[in-house]
Amino acid sequence: PFEYPRRRAKAVRRHAAAAGTTASPGEDTRKGITQRRSTATALDFVTPPEIDFADTDEQADQDKSAHKQFEWMKAWYPVHVLDCMDPGRPHKTQLMGLNIVIWNDGPTVDGKKVLGEWKVFEDACPHRQAPLSEGRVEDDGSLLCSYHAWRFNGKGDLTDLPYSPEHLKEKHMCSCRAKCKVYPTRVEDGLLFVWPDTTPLGIVESAAKEPPLIEELHDPELSKKWIKFPVNLRDLELGWDVFFENAMDPSHFLVAHHNITGNRYTDPKWFAMKPWRPLDTDGGVAVRGIPGVFDFRPPCLVKNQQDGGVIFAIYNTPTTPGHCRHIGFLVLDTETLAGDSGVVDKKSVELFTGPVPVWLQHLLTSFFLHQDAVLLHHQEQNFRDRGFLAQKGTEKQFKEVSYTPNEVDIGSIQFRRWLRTRAGGGVPWKCDPTLPPRLMTNEKIFDVWNSHTKNCQCCKEAYGNINLLKNASYASAFG
């Protein structure tokens, strides 16, 4: 819902005024770009010579030991959206190759579920490793393994062992081998975050570290005017690193998202993108240009803050090799949007924030994601075919399989540098790190049911209602 051409045109008028020239408010975007270039000398916006940024990094050949390395297991990752989860059943997902199950330990009273705390366990019963995600959340708020009816409370303790004799039951249930592995969790901004380190030290460290958040929602003053709009979730057929390389690239919006955020035939033009914050192991990296600030905060957030009171919160969690879970939402400054910023297409924003059902908002977001999901899936496969993988021991590096001569690529390049020099080269998977084979059709990439609907109670309920209406219409037609 953002019109970069309008943003550029308004920026041109501001720069033109600063340079002592004029730019008519009625000029179209392409004239605005011409005007901008005509004043570039005074504004120091001269189009740079062709430079391969991948070859100018003074740290490119440094040994990784020269930098503190990011600790992947000692970080918070968003794994689900609270409003999307049905508290009456367990939910299966993955984190860095770890199989986990999410469930709510609240009891059911008079047929109604009372919300308790959201819990995350290893998705394996300690009995014989059957998946707890195939179990049930019982009326007392316990998690029942559907294989042999072992029950667990929210702390992971075994509370019922039906096949043990009474005189041995207490002894068997108290064994440390009967306890589930429980992951630390936090709820922030409607998201459930998980900390993958379950060691005693890791649990202590989790309490002292904050997850990456949008600070405008937590500042006592700013939160009065910044509001968050519905959160969407989508499992994607592409890797965590490819997703964030894309999220740090503003130039693709005008082309890949044709007719939503730009026109691929008329809008692409040179614009400046500069480093905004240097590489830092725990702080990530940020770049800035006319499309705003693109701020990568390890390990799971790109905050894109634009002029005109708009923030894109782009979360992404590594699930398994070649797959990731994207969670995103809009944050809007109501005071700025109330005026004529010239940056935000208000009619498009209203489509996502107005009186539109949540399920329809989620559906519209899927259309946006579909526009580059195919490109990114095959980009990752092409990288692999050419010898580059985001992991230790990769045969080639990113700069050897890509040609990035323009300044607009700097966000993607800086992210790849962070990953290579500050984070061990890639996600330290807790499963087989082999990238799955290339999909030869787009059916799985566009499969909204398996990638979203089955994991979202709002959309699942809407899907059921639509089917009821469809069946009713068939019955009335033949009645």
Q: What is the pLDDT of residue 229?
A: 81
Taking residues 131-138, report their average pLDDT. Answer: 97
| 361 vs 190 pLDDT, higher one | 190
Residue 365 has pLDDT above 90, yes or no: no
| Cα–Cα distance, 94 to 323 (Å, whole number) | 10
Dihedral Cα 356, 358, 362, 363, nearest 10 deg:
-60
Provide the β-strand partners of residue 324.
236, 318
Number of H helices, E strands in the chain: 14, 21
- How far lies 47's CA from each of 37, 44, 419, in Å? 8, 9, 29
Distance of CA 223 to the CA centre of its chain: 22
Residue with tokens 């984190």: 95
Taking residues 149-174, report their average pLDDT. Answer: 95
Residue of 77, 145, 139 lying closest to 104 (CA atoms): 139
- The three-class DSSP label of residue 311 is strand
Q: What is the pLDDT of residue 185?
A: 98
| Cα–Cα distance, 293 to 295 (Å, whole number) | 6
Residue 341 has pLDDT above 50, yes or no: no
Out of 28-37, 231-240, 350-359, 409-418, pick the least confident. Answer: 28-37
pLDDT tier at 363 (50, 70, 90 boundaries)? confident
Taking residues 263-291, report their average pLDDT. Answer: 91
Provide the β-strand partners of residue 302.
296, 314
Burial of 469 (0-12, 13-18, 19+ CB in 10 A): exposed
Q: What proportion of the chain, given as a percentage, has pLDDT over 90?
A: 63
| Residue 127, both tokens | 């009995």
3-class SS string, 144-193 = ECCCCCCEECCCCCEEECCCCCHHHHHHHHHCHHHCCCEECEEEECCEEE
Q: Give the other-Cβ count within 10 Å of 401's Cβ.
A: 16
- How far lies 60's CA from each of 373, 393, 398, 419, in Å? 29, 16, 11, 12
pLDDT tier at 264 (50, 70, 90 boundaries)? confident
Q: What is the pLDDT of residue 34?
A: 31
pLDDT tier at 20 (50, 70, 90 boundaries)? very low
Q: Any idea what DSSP says for residue 344?
A: B
414: phi then psi, degrees, rounded to nearest 5 = -65, -35
Q: What is the pLDDT of residue 418?
A: 97
Residue 194 has pLDDT above 90, yes or no: yes
Out of 114-118, 258-262, 419-423, pick the least confident. Answer: 258-262
Q: Any idea what DSSP says for residue 210?
A: P
Residue 64 has pLDDT above 60, yes or no: no
Ramachandran category for residue 309: left, alpha or beta (phi over 0 → left; psi -120 to 50 → alpha): left
| Cα–Cα distance, 182 to 278 (Å, whole number) | 36
Q: What is the pLDDT of residue 52?
A: 42
CA atoms within 13 A on the CB side of 400: 11
Residue 342 has pLDDT above 70, yes or no: no
pLDDT tier at 47 (50, 70, 90 boundaries)? very low
Residue 54 has pLDDT above 80, yes or no: no
Residue with tokens 């092409």: 382
Residue 31 has pLDDT above 50, yes or no: no
| 46 vs 110 pLDDT, higher one | 110
Residue 51 has pLDDT above 60, yes or no: no
Q: Any idea what DSSP says for residue 371?
A: H
On whether the CB atoms of residues 315 and 303 are closer than 8 A, the answer is no
On whether the CB atoms of residues 245 and 375 are closer than 8 A, the answer is no
On whether the CB atoms of residues 250 and 365 are closer than 8 A, the answer is no
| 262 vs 117 pLDDT, higher one | 117
| Cα–Cα distance, 338 to 309 (Å, whole number) | 10
Sequential DSSP letters for 101-127: EEEE-PPEETTEEPP--EEEEESS-TT
